[in-house]
Structure 1
C-alpha cells in the first residue's frame, strides 16, 4: 500500500529535477540550447523564404502563360466554328466570370450562343424521381422514337436537347412547333431554368459542370450524391451528342465520381464523349471551342489535365461553314472532309 511518505519522496524528486533543469538551463547549457533553437528558427525562416520565392516564380510563370494564351486566342480561334449555333446547358450554378470567359471564346471561334439553360436540382434529385417520371410520360409523345428512350431520365434528356435543337422543316432558322412547348413544360415542372432565351435551333452543345467540393471519407453522403447525379447527367450528354453535330462537357477540376470523371473512367463513354477541364483558366476556356470543333470533325478526346486526360489541347480541325437547307429539318454541314457519323452518333 502506498503511504504518505511515498508521495513526499515523489514530490521532492520532481522539485529536484526542476531545480537541476533550471540550473543547467541558466548555466552551462544556456548557450547550447539557445544556439540550437536559434539555428532551427533561422533554418525554418530560410525554408519559408525559399518556398515563397518559388511560389512567386510559379505564379508569375502561370500569369505570363495565361496572358500569352489570352493574347493569341483570337488568332488561334478564328474560323474554328464557322457559323455554328451553340446551346449551353449548365448542370448547376456557374460562376459568371467562368461562363463569360467560355462564351467569349465560343464567339471568337465564329459561333453564336443560341441558348443558355440550367437544369435544376430536381433533374437529378432522387426525391424528385416520381415527378420526373410523370413529366417524362407526358413528354414521350414529342420523341420521334419513344421506344428507344431507356428510362424516364433518358426521355427527359432527349426532349430537352430536342427543344433546343429541333428546327422547323420548312425553315432551319426557326424552332419546330413543339420545341417551345416542350421547354415551357420543363420550366413549369421546375426541371430547367431558361437563363437566355433560345434564339434559333442549336447545331452543337456545350455542357458546363459546376465546381464540386472535394469529397473525402468524411463526406460519404456528398460523394454518393455526386455519383448518383453523374449517372443521370451522362444521359443528357449522350442525348446532346446524338441530337446535334457534337457536344463537349467542360468543367474546372474533376472530383472523383463527378460527370467528367465518370466519362473518363468508362472506356465506352470516353470513346464517344469529349470533355475539357480547367475551365476556370483561359487555357481551359480556349479549349472549349477547339474541342467542340474537333468533336464535330469526328475526333473524340479528354482534354486538359487530371486523371483520364488524353491531351492538354485538342487537335486542329478545319470545319467548313455550315449549310442549312429546309429539307425535313436536317442540317447538312461539311465537316472538313470528316467521315460521316455513325448511326445514332450525330457527332
Structure 2
C-alpha cells in the first residue's frame, strides 16, 4: 500500500512539474528563454566567424612565409658546397620525400650526390646481432685505422661504412682504395647496406637521414653507434631527423655528451627550412665546426653561417713503389769469369 501511494505521489509530482514548466514557458519566462537562446546562438556564431578569420589569417601568413622561404632558398644555398661529393645514407624508416628533397637541396648547394644507400634492418635488428658480429670480425682486416679492441659491433660496422665510402687509393686519390672496395662489397653481400645508386669515387661528405618515427631502445643503440662512428670518418658528416620525441635519434645524439661534441645535427626535416639548413650545416662541419641547428630547444643556432668553402682538392698522390724484377738478379755461378772457373778446375 505504501509503495502504491509512493508511485501515485511521484506521478503527481512529475505532471505538476511539467504543467508548471509549460505555464512558465508559455508565460512570463517565454521571452527570457527565447532571448537567452538567441543570444547564445549569436555568440557561438560570432566565435565561429572569429575562429575562421583567425585561421584564414594564419594560413595567409604561412603561405607568405613559404613563399619567402622558397624565394630565399636559392641565394641561401648558392655555392655553399662547391664541387663537393656527398653520399646520402638512410636508416630504416627514413621518409622518402625527405630524402628526395634533401638530395635536391644538396645539389642546389653545388654538391654532387655520389651514392645513395640505405642501412638495412639487418644492421639495427636485435635478432641479427650475432650475424653482424661475424661480419665485423671479417671486415676489420680491411680497415685503416683498425677499430679499438673494445669497440662495439655496430661501431666497427659504422666505421667500415664510412671508410668504404671515403677511402681513397693513395697512389690515385680519385679512385677507391682496394680495401674500401672490399669493404663495400662485403657490406652489400651481407645485406647490411642496400644500394640505390653506387658511388663512383671516394666522397667528401656523408649525410645520414634518421627514421621519421622513434625507434626501440636496441635499435636506437645500434643507430647511435653507427652515427658516432660515421662522424669520426675523415670528411664532413651531418645527421638530419626529427627531435620531437625521446626516441628520436637526433634527440638521443644531442643528449649524449660524446656524440653531441662530434655529430652535427639538423632537426625539423618536414619543413622547407631544413632543406636550407642541412647543406649549410654540412658545410660548417666540413670547415671543422660541430653544432646543432633547427628549431628544437637548446640548438646552437637556427641557420648556420656560410663558412665560405673553396672547392675540395684531391690529396697529392704518392709515388707508387717500383716492382722488383727478380729476373734481373743473376746467379753468382752464371756471372763467374770462365777463365777463372777453368783455373779453379785445373787446380782441383
Report the Cα offset of residue 22 of structure 1.
Answer: 4.0
Q: Aligned pair in 2 of structure 1 residues 187, 47: CA closer, same or farther (>3 Å)?
A: farther
The structure 2 residue matched to 1:260, chosen from 234, 250, 256, is 250
In the alignment, is residue 245 of structure 1 matched against residue 246 of structure 2? no
| Structure 1 residue aligned with 2:7 | 7
Q: Is the 8 A contact 1:237 1:247 kept in 2?
A: no
Q: Aligned pair in 2 of structure 1 residues 97, 32: CA closer, same or farther (>3 Å)?
A: same
The structure 2 residue matched to 1:321, chosen from 305, 311, 336, is 311
| Structure 2 residue aligned with 1:342 | none
Q: Aligned pair in 2 of structure 1 residues 7, 282: CA closer, same or farther (>3 Å)?
A: same
Report the Cα offset of residue 279 of structure 1.
Answer: 2.0
Report the Cα offset of residue 13 of structure 1.
Answer: 2.8
Q: Is the 8 A contact 1:263 1:270 kept in 2?
A: yes
CA distance in 2, matches of 1:124, 1:261: 18
| Structure 2 residue aligned with 1:91 | 91
Report the Cα offset of residue 247 of structure 1.
Answer: 0.9
Question: Which deviates the most, 139-148 or 270-279?
Answer: 139-148
| Structure 1 residue aligned with 2:292 | 302
Q: Is the 8 A contact 2:142 2:182 kept in 1?
A: no
Report the Cα offset of residue 149 of structure 1.
Answer: 5.8
Unmatched 5+ stretches in structure 2: 320-348
| Structure 2 residue aligned with 1:16 | 16
TM (norm. structure 1) is 0.82
Q: Is the 8 A contact 1:226 1:258 kept in 2?
A: no
| Structure 1 residue aligned with 2:337 | none
CA distance in 2, matches of 1:6, 1:128: 76
SS at match of 2:148: helix
CA distance in 2, matches of 1:284, 1:122: 29
Question: Which deviates the most, 153-162 or 124-133?
Answer: 124-133
Q: Aligned pair in 2 of structure 1 residues 21, 157: CA closer, same or farther (>3 Å)?
A: farther
Aligned alpha-carbon RMSD (Å)? 2.5
| Structure 1 residue aligned with 2:162 | 161
What are the within-5 Å matches in structure 2 for residues 127-276 of structure 1?
127-144=127-144, 145-148=146-149, 150-212=151-213, 225-252=215-242, 254-276=244-266
Q: Aligned pair in 2 of structure 1 residues 44, 132: CA closer, same or farther (>3 Å)?
A: farther
Report the Cα offset of residue 201 of structure 1.
Answer: 1.1
CA distance in 1, matches of 2:249, 2:125: 15
Q: Deviations over 1:85-135 (max 9, x none)?
A: 111111124444322221122112221111111112232222222222222
Q: Is the 8 A contact 2:241 2:249 kept in 1?
A: no
| Structure 2 residue aligned with 1:279 | 269
Question: Which deviates the most, 265-274 or 313-322?
Answer: 265-274
SS at match of 2:130: helix
TM (norm. structure 2) is 0.82
Q: Is the 8 A contact 2:143 2:179 kept in 1?
A: no
| Structure 2 residue aligned with 1:39 | 39
- Find the structure with the greater CA-based Rg: 2
Equivalenced residue count is: 318
Q: Aligned pair in 2 of structure 1 residues 42, 188: CA closer, same or farther (>3 Å)?
A: farther
CA distance in 2, matches of 1:148, 1:326: 32
Q: Aligned pair in 2 of structure 1 residues 104, 6: CA closer, same or farther (>3 Å)?
A: same
Q: Aligned pair in 2 of structure 1 residues 6, 238: CA closer, same or farther (>3 Å)?
A: same
Unmatched 5+ stretches in structure 1: 213-222, 330-347
| Structure 1 residue aligned with 2:282 | 292
Q: Is the 8 A contact 2:242 2:250 kept in 1?
A: no
CA distance in 2, matches of 1:195, 1:25: 76
Q: Is the 8 A contact 1:149 1:155 kept in 2?
A: no
CA distance in 1, matches of 2:208, 2:31: 66
| Structure 1 residue aligned with 2:72 | 72
SS at match of 1:244: coil
Q: Is the 8 A contact 2:81 2:111 kept in 1?
A: yes
Q: Aligned pair in 2 of structure 1 residues 78, 30: CA closer, same or farther (>3 Å)?
A: same
Q: Is the 8 A contact 1:202 1:244 kept in 2?
A: no
